[in-house]
Structure 1
Amino acid sequence: MITIDKLCYTSRLRYENAAEKFAFAVITLIICVMSRSMVIAGIVLAVTGILTVWKGGIPLFRYLHFLSVPLAFLFLSTLAILVNVKQKPLDLFAIKIGNWYLTGSTYGAFYALQLILTALAAVSCLYFLSLNTPMPDILMVLDKLHCPKLLIELMLLIYRFIFVLLDTAYHISTAQDCRLGNCNYKTSLKSFAAMCSTLMVRAVKRSNALYNSMETRCYDGTIRVLNENQPPKKHVIFLITLFELFLLILFIWRKFFA
């Protein structure tokens, strides 16, 4: 199993109402992205982290490892905002290269930090949802929101085939290692190309077999999945509403009155 999926099924928040978790994650994400505020981003990052680690039981270092993956991409993507090539130096730093300066401004650094915190807080909202809610429960919520059934079924089938292809790729890679298929760089490239082509063929065969098995079981265009879900709790809905109102009021105050 994928690590995120495994942690999701062992989370202490797994059996909480999926609609509550979905609403909390999505509404918080929208407010965070709309505000572009470092204060709101910091609050969201702290709250989602505490809920995921403390309430959900996800190991802290594993959670920080997950956050470090998008953080590396964010640092690289914000370098274009922070670092500029100009003929005149800016106020934060300046490195002279011939007649030009590799330079940056205080405003650029502030804006880059703002983008990093906002994006990281948004990712933490998605991590809260994905680390505590199984995929079938998320699809159930999307179905209740009247998301197109074709899209939901495609998501379910793609989700299923991720594990099928990973398992197939693992066995092929193990067989190649046993036959010295990765003994050097050139051989590794050939082995990787052979594995990709084999995966493509087997994916087509598996998809045909899956469709035939669904047809023999009276498939009528809808995939029905049993869901283990708890009814919504009034105090949880109250706390979610209170938190979202707090973020919304803070956003309006900083936008128009600060």
Structure 2
Amino acid sequence: MLLIDQFAYTNGLRHVKAGYKFLFTLLMLVLAIGLDNIFVNLSIFVLIIILELTCAKFKLRNVISFIKVPLIFILLGTIFLVIGFSKENHFSYSIKIFGGYFGVIEGQEMLFLRVFMRSLAATSSVIFLSVTTPMVDIIKVFKAMHLPNVFIELFMLIYRFIFIIIEEAQTNINSLEIKFGFINTKTSFKSIKIFIENMVLGILKRNEEMINALNIKLYNGEFPVR
């Protein structure tokens, strides 16, 4: 059983109807993406953290572990909106390197903050649903909405694979931290190389295990639920 499933079956909101949690998550997503306001998105993120700590009864270290890996991916995906490299110094803050300038692109700071906070709020909302609601209950909600089976199938497989990646990344990061893999710059670069190698091999192995599990259960493209 994935760690995410263990949380989903043992949290304080386990017995709240999945439909209510789904509607709450949908509302948070609409507010985060529709309003696209930094303060609204910050409020959504803080609200999700408070709910996970007080209502779902998760420990602080668990809440941090939920968001730590997605936060890294969000940061890596948005940081290049605000930093760049050019032969001309058109940056707000910059350093000269290799005959050019590397720094913060002028006027892009607010765009970075908006995209970062929107992504953080939306991601934390989806994580809230995932860690408080078992997958079988989410599928029941989709079935009740009469969504096509192909959508449910794709959602299920993508969902599982995303959390396989997150769990694999968390395991590798913890392993490297225990071994002081990020104690200095030189060691950090070596650790990043090891991290990438382990991630590729680990994901391939976990993906094969998931396929084998589906084959054993005679998976035929549909997830039946009662």
Q: Normalising by structure 2, what TM-score?
A: 0.69
Residue by residue over 1:145-171, the C-alpha shift from the partner in whole angstroms, topping out at 9 and shown as x without a partner, is 111134435766898999xxxxxxxxx
Residues 210-229 of structure 1 aligned to structure 2 (within 5 Å) = 210-211=217-218, 224-226=224-226
Q: How far apart are residue 51 of structure 1 and its match?
A: 1.1
Give the secondary-structure state (helix, strand or coil) at the position aligned to 1:66: helix
Q: Tell me the distance in 1 between the aligned counterparts of 2:156 and 2:59.
A: 27
Farther off after superposition, 72-81 or 14-23 = 72-81
Give the secondary-structure state (helix, strand or coil) at the position aligned to 1:122: helix
Q: How far apart are residue 40 of structure 1 and its match?
A: 0.8
Give the secondary-structure state (helix, strand or coil) at the position aligned to 2:96: strand
Residue by residue over 1:84-122, the C-alpha shift from the partner in whole angstroms, topping out at 9 and shown as x without a partner, is 223442452121236532232453223222222111111
Q: How far apart are residue 48 of structure 1 and its match?
A: 1.2
Specify which structure has the bigger relative contact order, considering alpha-carbon pairs within 8 angstroms and separated by 6 or more residues: 1
Q: Normalising by structure 1, what TM-score?
A: 0.61
Identity, % of aligned positions: 29
Q: Tell me the distance in 2 between the aligned counterparts of 1:85 and 1:161.
A: 35
Q: How far apart are residue 207 of structure 1 and its match?
A: 5.0
Q: How far apart are residue 125 of structure 1 and its match?
A: 0.3
Larger-Rg structure: 1
Residue by residue over 1:43-72, the C-alpha shift from the partner in whole angstroms, topping out at 9 and shown as x without a partner, is 100111111111011111111122111111
Q: Tell me the distance in 2 between the aligned counterparts of 1:57 and 1:41.
A: 23
CA RMSD of aligned residues (A): 3.7
Q: Tell me the distance in 1 between the aligned counterparts of 2:29 and 2:210.
A: 38
Counterparts in 2 of 1:83 and 1:52: CA distance versus 1, 3 Å:
same
Q: Tell me the distance in 2 between the aligned counterparts of 1:202 and 1:117.
A: 33
Q: Tell me the distance in 2 between the aligned counterparts of 1:201 and 1:128.
A: 26
Q: How far apart are residue 34 of structure 1 and its match?
A: 2.4
Counterparts in 2 of 1:85 and 1:155: CA distance versus 1, 3 Å:
closer
Q: How far apart are residue 80 of structure 1 and its match?
A: 1.5
**Residues 8 and 133 in structure 1, CA contact (< 8 A), matched pair in contact too:** yes
Farther off after superposition, 42-51 or 87-96 = 87-96
Q: How far apart are residue 4 of structure 1 and its match?
A: 1.3
Q: Tell me the distance in 2 between the aligned counterparts of 1:159 and 1:68.
A: 18
Q: Tell me the distance in 2 between the aligned counterparts of 1:161 and 1:50.
A: 27
Which residue type is aligned with residue 210 of structure 1?
K
Q: Tell me the distance in 1 between the aligned counterparts of 2:210 and 2:127.
A: 31
Unmatched tracts of structure 2, length 5 or more: 163-193
Give the secondary-structure state (helix, strand or coil) at the position aligned to 2:147: coil
